[in-house]
Structure 1
Amino acid sequence: MEEKHIRYYSHHLERDIDMLVYGNWGYPILLFPTTLGRYYQAKDMGLIESVKGLVESGKYKIYCIDSIDADSWYAKHLNPEYRVLNHMVYDRFLVNELIPYIRHECHVDKIGVAGCSFGGYHAANLAFRHPSLVAYMISMSGAFDIRSFMDGYYSDQVYFNNPIDYMPNEQGWKYGHMKIVLGTSEWDICLESNLKISDILNRNGIDHWLDVRGWEKHDWPLWNAMFPHYLSRIM
């Protein structure tokens, strides 16, 4: 399987961002790491190996991006206002720099996004905030409420990065083109979060696939089974 390391300089972040890219061609999937994870996490934990056949066959090209969680949601040394502002800079990097780069490289109008655990939040928040850029969203054991990271602080910036808050007020037609997968399990610590966001999507008439698996924990064996299944089904 083709693997390429890219060090991408972001003008928004004013620093380099590392990526691992898998595959020579195929539909692009931007894959976010879990909490405080790095760009090589999906490789180390077997997630990339789980979709090796789909990548080698040319169906998908996987972009494993670095996070800046240590400078945003998990930056307990910063005032909560600056945590969310740092995340918004990361969002601008994705929307204005990285996604245009991926679209140009892969000759597509929209991309796919995916992630496990807190990476599922990143994938969902990006897709829900910017539906014109995303055709496929896969969240595996994601959580969709970031107020617990804010120490009681709340603002418009928090609202517009908290899917549990803003999605009830979104217009469902904006997501009519998007294939949305919410993967969870009966023993998943994020089960209730997935049931709640699924209910919000249902009330807004947003079609999606809620996949609740039995007796599996919030961990890599679950996600390594989910990811190839979802990629083989959504296209």
Structure 2
Amino acid sequence: METQYYKQYSPALGRDMECKIYGHAGRPVIFIPCQDGRFYDFENYHMTDVWAPWIDSGKIMVCAIDTLDAETWSDKANDPRWRICRHEQWIRHITDEIVPFLRNIANERNGWTGYPGVMVFGCSLGATHAANLFFRRPDLFDGLLALSGIYSAEYGFDSYMDDLVYENSPIHYLKNMAPDHPYIPLYNMKKAVICCGQGPWELPDSTRHLQSILTEKDIHAWVDFWGFDCSHDWYWWYRQVEYFVPYLLGER
């Protein structure tokens, strides 16, 4: 498996950021780690092994990035306005810096013709961020795999709400989306999978709430609930990746 490590200065964040790309060709995927996670979690938690059949065959190229949760969603002792502004800078880092960087590698260097073709994938809080990116920017992201996420910003900001918290809380902004909003046809041109187990440490009610909103708005996504044995853990996320990725790639 071809791997490339990068450490580059982010103007959006005012600091160096690290990432690692797995694969030599194919559809670009951005992996967002779990809460407070780092780019190397994709490899250290053996998610590379699960994605290997698609990476090694040149169907997928995964870019694993860093979170900024320790400064934002997790740091509840600090000012919530500062934290959500910092989170918004991280969002811009992804949309304005990571996506063009990855497109350059996938489209220009490796010959990927599915422009824009960027899928976003995450587990736990990584799924929260992935879904938020997909629903906020369907012009940039054309696929979503969100496993065991929570889709309200209340998880990180409790009862605090302002304009930026609202914009990072899918349950809130999708609920208020007009039925003729131009994003809805964009969502429905793409494939989105949102899955949650019902076992230990899972919080399926958030996914159920999101499902009800998607149904109400006629937004087509595959929302799936696994059994009461399915816990909030890597073992189950491996199985879900194996199950859902063929659908997202059009293999079945």
Question: TM-score by structure 1 length?
Answer: 0.96
For structure 1, the residue ranges without an aligned partner over 5 or more in a row are none
Cross-structure match for 1:176:
188
**Cα displacement string for residues 73-109 of structure 1 (whole angstroms, at most 9, x for unaligned residues):** 1123420111100000001111111111112221222
How far does residue 151 in structure 1 lie from its aligned partner after superposition? 4.3
Distance 1:217 1:98 in 2: 31
Partner secondary structure for residue 67 of structure 1: coil
- Among 122, 130, 133, the alignment partner of 2:129 is 122
Q: Aligned-residue CA RMSD in angstroms?
A: 1.3
More strand by share: 1
- 2:239 is aligned with 1:232: no
Q: Look up the equivalent residue of 1:72 and give its one-letter code.
A: T
Contact 2:147–2:194 (CA under 8 A) maintained in structure 1: yes
Distance 1:151 1:219 in 2: 24
Cross-structure match for 1:19:
19
Cross-structure match for 1:210:
223
Partner secondary structure for residue 58 of structure 1: coil
Partner secondary structure for residue 139 of structure 2: helix
Question: TM-score by structure 2 length?
Answer: 0.89
> What is the number of residues matched between the two proteins?
235
Moved over 3 A (4+): none
- Matching of residues 1-235 of structure 1 within 5 Å: 1-107=1-107, 108-170=115-177, 171=181, 172-187=184-199, 189-214=202-227, 215-235=229-249
**Cα displacement string for residues 146-181 of structure 1 (whole angstroms, at most 9, x for unaligned residues):** 124224321111111101100112232231222110
Deviates more, 1:147-156 or 1:94-103: 147-156
Distance 1:208 1:82 in 2: 33
Sequence identity (%):
30
Partner secondary structure for residue 51 of structure 1: helix
For structure 2, the residue ranges without an aligned partner over 5 or more in a row are 108-114
